[in-house]
């Protein structure tokens, strides 16, 4: 098992290196000129060229990538208008648009996205697995229809639509909640909570729909397995049978998908963050796209990739732990 | 373990068991009025083709018939208590303790997520809650050794996928016998196994039976398997028992045309090398649209000689020597039915 974990971690590290190179190359191949973006609209060509040289954009792409990677591990200095700004490790670049180290920007926005993702994740797993289990146990009766109905509605509702409806109902019409204004959990927990409760539910409802179906179908499938029949023949109490035999088997594939979904969400929930005015990674990315802020785009892409790769590795290890059949000796 | 109050009265008494499955095409009458007794410690075989109702009968004894629309009527009396009339909780307490079951496919019968040791221990713990962990482990080790798993100390912590099919069936048997049940139902216990392993498993079931004193109901389509360990056989066809006799009588003097057909379709060493295997013509009837009269008549060579009786009336059980048979032919013909065998 330890060997498996080590091997999996090494693989993840190599994968990340490849992804970083690819991302770096993709963005350098864009038609946007990074040097031109460093000074305002009415910039003179001489300044652009000077900046290009000063910032190293004239160097070969491989060398640029090298100093970028070096920056991640050792920190890096960026020159701007005569002054030199130091971004300490791990430096993911410098935004000339915002005049800030990219790492600082990400450190500010990531907790917002993490709060959003984590809360929504917990909620949707509860709703998804709960409703799915209920549907499977009461197959064909009204709880099943209710859960299946919820699932169909959830799947077909886009995030932005549900988000706007929620805003209208809970904030504008009934005034149950204040207009969302994000605050960190440590500085103002009440405000943090009230700004996140609606986005949590929006994301949870939209994502839970799939989990309801997966849980329901998975459980119904497992219930037909011979080993479940043996469990009944042993005289297992129903509750124990459902948990130890049916759910245990049915939830394993769900763990895989849940891990990836969560990681994907951590990379930034663009739409939800925009609707509810949450200053998270998604909004940062969106703004960077609008302003062609390449250093931020490279960095947020990388960060999202890290989450996915790490989640993949964690899911693999977890899978080996949950299913003895795939465990490597 | 025949104690005073079970002598005389049977351990299990099935009376007029009827099992019907509701489907979109109509009602499937899988079992129609099956009655039989099993005495303590006795071994009874139930033989029949697929769809004859033998497995459905077996499952009904523990109320293991599931599905949306199952109707079971009749009585299944275990030591005088009707299992079909029990509450869900009462049946649960009987399952695995008084009546245990061995399934057909050992590859899918064990829970892949738990070690074999914990699955054996669990079967004991369910009916003996509060047993200390250490003792449970001892019991599991002991069971593994008894069913012939080599190196039980090493194997106890392994998972089902680390065992061969035959070994897994031994573990299923260990689970079934851990509570020394009064009745063991073996539903095609050797069908999924290699021929060489089949005999070992049958021997093991017989050995375990004598050790625990359990009665055994062995369900199979294989007359050879029945001959190996049972004394009494019931032959089922289309949801009914068509012949009930001792194993010796069934082989020596079968008294039902269907049994005769079954015996002829078995290849033996005496069969001529290039001779064709004799099969029973036709296929088993649909249980939704059963033929009128005797369900076997469309496939029966004797039906024509009885001039329409077979497709009009259902035959009643008649006693031929020591056998019971469900056929319209007269007693003399039935008694000599087996002699016609070529």
The nearest CA of chain A is from the CA of B321 a distance in Å of: 38
Distances (CA, A) of B59 to A197, A255, B298: 51, 35, 29
Q: Do the Cβ atoms of B100 and B179 come closer than 8 Å?
A: yes
- As a whole number of angstroms, the distance between CA B164 and CA B81 comes to 39
Q: Is the pLDDT of residue B284 over 50?
A: yes
DSSP, residue by residue, B218-262: EEES-HHHHHHH-SEEEEEETTEEEEEEEHHHHHHS--SHHHHHH
pLDDT for res B308: 80
Whether A39 contacts A51, CB under 8 Å: yes
* Cα nearest neighbour of B181 on chain A: A234
Which residues does A145 contact at the CB level (< 8 Å), separation at least 6? Answer: none
pLDDT at B180 over 80: yes
Give the confidence band of A327 by pLDDT, cuts at 50, 70, 90. Answer: confident
Q: What is the pLDDT of residue B131?
A: 93
Q: Which domains are present in chain B?
A: 4-230 (3.40.50.300), 240-340 (no CATH)
Q: Residue B2: which pLDDT band, with cuts at 50, 70 and 90?
A: very low
Give me the helices (H) in chain B, please: 54-61, 88-94, 106-109, 116-127, 133-146, 152-155, 165-177, 195-212, 223-229, 247-252, 257-264, 331-335
Mean pLDDT of all residues belonging to chain B: 87
Task: Kindly provide the ipTM of the predicted complex, given to two decimals.
Answer: 0.88
Q: Which of A176-190, A209-223, B99-113 has the lowest mean pLDDT?
A: A176-190
Tell the residue number behind the tokens 């990531």, with chain if given: A110
SS3 (DSSP) at B269: coil
| Percent of chain A predicted with pLDDT > 90 | 40
CB pairs under 8 A between A and B: 69
* Each residue's pLDDT tens digit, A206-215: 899 999 999 9
Contact by Cβ (8 Å): B295, B241 = no
Q: How far is B308 from chain A (nearest CA, A)?
A: 44
Distance CA A176, CA A96 (A): 41
Is B340 a residue whose pLDDT tops 60? no
Hey, where are the domains in chain A?
Answer: 2-102, 106-322
What lies within 8 Å, CB to CB, of B212 at 6+ separation is: B1, B177, B180, B181
Give which of A226, A228, A231, A233 to mutate to test B binding, by max B Cβ within 10 Å: A233
- Cα A27 to Cα A296: distance, rounded to the nearest angstrom: 11
Residues 6+ apart with CB under 8 A from A293: A37, A95, A96, A97, A98, A287
Q: What angle do CA B59, B109, B220 make, to 5 degrees?
A: 50
pLDDT of B3 > 70? The answer is no
Tell how far CA A42 is from the center of its chain: 38
Question: What is the distance between the alpha carbons of residues B174 and B152, in angstroms, rounded to a whole number?
Answer: 12
Percentage of chain B exceeding pLDDT 70: 93
d(CA B288, CA B271) in angstroms, rounded, equals 37
Residue A122, pLDDT above cutoff 50: yes
Banded pLDDT at A73 (limits 50, 70, 90) = confident
Neighboring chain B residues of A238 at a CB cutoff of 8 Å: 92
Domain A106-322, CATH homologous superfamily name and number: MetI-like (1.10.3720.10)
For the CA atoms of B79, B82, B83, B88, the dihedral, rounded to the nearest 10 degrees, stands at: -120
So what's the pLDDT on residue B271? 59
* Tens of pLDDT, residues B127-139: 999 999 999 999 9
At B137-174, the pLDDT tens digits run: 999 999 999 898 999 999 999 999 999 999 999 999 99
Cβ pair A225:B108 closer than 8 A: yes
Chain A residues within 8 A of B96 when measuring between CB atoms: 233-235
Would strands B215-220 and B240-246 be described as parallel, antiparallel, or unpaired? Answer: unpaired
Question: With contacts defined as CB-CB under 8 Å, which chain B residues touch A232?
Answer: 64, 95
What sign does the dihedral A38-A39-A45-A46 (CA atoms) show? Answer: negative
Nearest-neighbour CA in chain B from A226: distance (Å): 5
CB A243 within 8 A of CB A129: no
Q: What residues have CB less than 8 Å from B148, skipping those under 6 apart?
A: B170, B200, B204
Interface test with B, best of A138, A218, A235 (most B CBs within 10 A): A235
Please give the mean pLDDT across all residues of chain A.
87
Mean pLDDT, rounded, for A104-128: 93
Contact B94 A235 (CB under 8 A): yes
Which of A225, A233, A245 is nearest residue B64 as measured by Cβ atoms? A233
Largest CA distance in chain A: 85
Which of B305, B222, B234 lies closest to B265, judged by CA?
B222
Chain A contact present for B97, CB below 8 A: yes
Q: What is the pLDDT of residues B112-124, one digit of tens each?
A: 999 999 999 999 9
Residue B287 DSSP one-character state: S
Comparing CB atoms, the residue among A235, A238, A323 nearest residue B96 is A235
Of B68, B103, B112, the CB nearest to A324: B112
- Higher-pLDDT residue of B309 and A15 is A15
- The SS3 of residue B158 is coil
* Cα A52 from Cα B153, distance rounded (Å): 72
Mean of the pLDDT values across residues A323-327? Answer: 82
Task: Give residue-wise pLDDT tens across range A44-55.
Answer: 888 888 878 777
Q: What is the pLDDT of residues A224-257, one digit of tens each?
A: 999 999 999 999 999 999 999 999 999 998 988 9
Percent of chain B residues topping a pLDDT of 90: 46
Ramachandran class of B240: left when φ > 0, alpha when ψ lies in -120 to 50, beta otherwise: beta
* Pure H helices in chain A: 2-28, 45-55, 61-74, 102-137, 142-156, 159-166, 189-223, 226-234, 238-240, 248-266, 270-275, 281-290, 294-322
A128 has a pLDDT exceeding 70: yes
Q: How confident is the model at residue B191 (pLDDT cuts 50, 70, 90)?
A: confident
Residues 135-164 of A with CB under 8 A from B: 140
The answer to whether the CB of B273 falls within 8 A of the CB of B267 is no
A64 pLDDT band, cuts 50/70/90, is confident
Neighbours of B84 (CB within 10 A): 17
Distance, in Å, from the CA atom of A206 to the CA atom of A216, rounded to the nearest integer, reads 17
Nearest-CB residue to A230 (from B97, B103, B113)? B103
B278–A contact, CB cutoff 8 A:
no
């Amino acid at each position: 098992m330890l060997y498996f974990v080590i091997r999996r971690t090494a693989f993840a590290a190599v994968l990340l290196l490849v992804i970083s190179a690819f991302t770096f190359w993709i963005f350098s191949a864009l038609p946007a000129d990074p040097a031109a973006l460093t000074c305002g609209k009415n910039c003179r060509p001489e300044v652009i060229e000077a900046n290009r040289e000063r910032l190293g954009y004239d160097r070969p792409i491989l060398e640029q990538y090298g100093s970028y990677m070096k920056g991640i591990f050792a920190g890096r200095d960026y020159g701007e208008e005569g002054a030199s700004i130091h971004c300490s490790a791990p430096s993911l670049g410098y935004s000339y648009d915002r005049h800030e180290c990219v790492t600082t920007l990400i450190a500010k926005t990531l907790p917002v996205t993490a709060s959003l993702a984590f809360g929504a994740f917990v909620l949707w797993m509860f709703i998804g697995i709960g409703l799915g289990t209920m549907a499977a146990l009461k197959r064909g009766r009204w709880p099943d229809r209710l859960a299946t109905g919820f699932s169909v509605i959830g799947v077909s509702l886009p995030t932005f639509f549900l988000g706007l409806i929620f805003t209208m109902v809970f904030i504008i019409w009934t005034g149950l909640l204040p207009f969302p204004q994000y605050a960190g959990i440590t500085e103002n927990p009440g405000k943090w909570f009230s700004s996140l409760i609606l986005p949590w539910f929006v994301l949870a409802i939209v994502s839970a729909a799939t989990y309801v179906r997966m849980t329901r179908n998975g459980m119904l499938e497992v219930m037909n397995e011979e080993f479940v029949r043996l469990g009944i023949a042993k005289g297992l109490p129903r509750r124990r049978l459902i948990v130890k035999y049916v759910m245990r088997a049915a939830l394993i594939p769900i763990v895989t998908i849940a891990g990836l979904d969560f990681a994907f969400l951590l990379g930034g929930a663009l739409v939800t963050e925009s609707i509810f005015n949450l200053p998270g990674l998604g909004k940062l990315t969106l703004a960077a796209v609008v302003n062609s802020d390449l250093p931020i785009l490279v960095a947020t892409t990388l960060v999202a990739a890290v989450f996915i790769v790490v989640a993949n590795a964690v899911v693999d290890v977890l899978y080996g732990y949950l299913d003895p059949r795939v465990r490597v000796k | 373990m025949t104690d005073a109050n079970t002598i005389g009265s049977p351990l299990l008494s099935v009376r007029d068991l009827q099992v019907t499955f509701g489907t979109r095409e109509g009602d499937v009458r899988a079992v129609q009025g099956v009655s039989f007794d099993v005495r303590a410690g006795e071994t009874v075989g139930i033989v029949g083709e697929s769809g004859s109702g033998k497995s459905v009968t077996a499952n009904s004894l523990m109320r293991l018939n599931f599905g949306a629309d199952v109707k079971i009527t009749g009585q299944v009396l275990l030591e005088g208590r009707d299992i079909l009339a029990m509450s869900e909780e009462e049946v649960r307490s009987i399952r695995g303790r008084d009546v245990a079951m061995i399934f057909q496919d050992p590859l899918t019968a064990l829970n892949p997520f738990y070690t074999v040791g914990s699955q054996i221990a669990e079967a004991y713990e369910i009916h003996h809650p509060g047993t200390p962990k250490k003792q449970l482990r001892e019991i599991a080790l002991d069971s593994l050794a008894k069913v012939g798993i080599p190196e039980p100390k090493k194997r106890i912590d392994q998972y089902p996928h680390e065992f061969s099919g035959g070994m897994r069936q031994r573990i299923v048997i260990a689970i079934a016998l851990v509570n020394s049940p009064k009745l063991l139902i073996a539903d095609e216990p050797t069908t999924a196994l290699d021929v060489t392993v089949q005999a070992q498993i049958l021997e093991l079931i017989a050995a375990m039976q004598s050790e625990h004193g359990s009665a055994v109901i062995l369900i199979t389509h294989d007359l050879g398997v029945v001959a190996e360990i049972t004394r009494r056989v019931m032959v089922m066809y289309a949801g009914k028992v068509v012949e009930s006799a001792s194993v010796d009588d069934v082989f020596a003097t079968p008294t039902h045309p269907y049994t005769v057909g079954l015996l002829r379709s078995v290849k033996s060493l005496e069969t001529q090398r290039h001779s064709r295997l004799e099969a029973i013509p036709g296929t088993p009837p649909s249980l939704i649209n059963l033929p009128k009269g005797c369900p076997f008549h469309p496939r029966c060579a004797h039906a024509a000689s009885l001039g329409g009786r077979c497709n009009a009336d259902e035959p009643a059980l008649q006693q031929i020597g020591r056998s019971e048979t469900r056929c319209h032919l007269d007693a003399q013909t039935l008694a000599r039915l087996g002699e016609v065998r070529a």
